[in-house]
A and B are shown apart, each in its own frame.
Chain A
Amino acid sequence: EAQVTQNPRYLITVTGKKLTVTCSQNMNHEYMSWYRQDPGLGLRQIYYSMNVEVTDKGDVPEGYKVSRKEKRNFPLILESPSPNQTSLYFCASTAGRDNSPLHFGNGTRLTVT
């Protein structure tokens, strides 16, 4: 089954404790991206990657890092999480055509205390 898999689904952590949210896709998509969703703000792009070793900042990259060492994986790293990073996070992937849909993972609800 074609899918984007994120882990974990829920995560509660404390300020400053490094964490990684994993994302993997099995559709051989070149493009992957991370979004955060906050009430009233919709989905905001954090980082995106056009291919292996090619990443770029989205609209809200501060406090986040990503890496793309393999085509299928695109982890999101929070080196020193802060409470304002409490949010719902989605990973997504798509093929390269203009009309290609984004396939989203099931989301990771992160709480930073």
Chain B
Amino acid sequence: GQSLEQPSEVTAVEGAIVQINCTYQTSGFYGLSWYQQHDGGAPTFLSYNGLDGLEETGRFSSFLSRSDSYGYLLLQELQMKDSASYFCALTSGTGRRALTFGSGTRLQVQP
């Protein structure tokens, strides 16, 4: 089976940097994705790591280390609108499309 662990809550102040960690257990792993979900909304895609290393997309970066079964999402220059839940997700399994999500990290950005 597969499992992912991430912190349930993180609090940070506007303008700061925050890192949300994700550790996982799996076989047949193909990639790690990150999704953002605002209250009452649908999850939206943020980033994907298919290889070890850092991927940068604007204020967001994501990192993967397969040897450590670990990844993180880094959010810089935090804004109030970044308050949301963030999910890491494993792409694995048949056809590489079976996705397993972590239970989510609720980020609260304070002024």
Q: What is the size category of the interface that chain B forms with chain A?
A: 20 to 34
- Give the chain B neighbours of A42 by CB distance below 8 A: 87, 101-104
Inter-chain residue pair count (beta carbon < 8 A): 60
- State which residues 12-55 of B face A: CB under 8 Å: 30-31, 33, 35, 41-45, 48, 50
CB distance B99 to A41 under 8 Å? no
CB distance A101 to B50 under 8 Å? no
Q: Which residue of B lies closest to A51 (CB)?
A: B95
Interface residue A75 (Cβ < 8 Å from any Cβ of B): no
CB distance B48 to A50 under 8 Å? no
Interface residue B59 (Cβ < 8 Å from any Cβ of A): no
Interface residue A90 (Cβ < 8 Å from any Cβ of B): yes
How many chain A residues touch B (CB < 8 A): the figure is 26
CA distance A42 to B43 in the complex (A): 11
Known interface pairs A43-B101, A45-B100; A99-B50 also in contact (CB < 8 Å): yes
| Closest CB in chain B relative to A65 CB, distance in Å | 18
CB distance B96 to A43 under 8 Å? no
Interface residue A33 (Cβ < 8 Å from any Cβ of B): yes
CA distance A50 to B45 in the complex (A): 20
Q: Which of B44, B45, B91 contacts A98 (CB 8 A)?
A: B91
A/B interface sample: 30 pairs, CB < 8 A: A31-B95, A33-B97, A33-B99, A35-B101, A40-B8, A42-B101, A42-B103, A42-B104, A43-B43, A43-B89, A43-B101, A44-B101, A45-B98, A45-B100, A45-B101, A48-B97, A50-B94, A50-B95, A56-B94, A58-B98, A59-B100, A94-B97, A98-B30, A98-B48, A98-B91, A98-B96, A99-B31, A101-B33, A102-B35, A103-B45
Sorted nearest first, the 6 A-B pairs with minimum C-beta distance are A101-B45, A104-B42, A42-B103, A43-B101, A99-B48, A42-B101
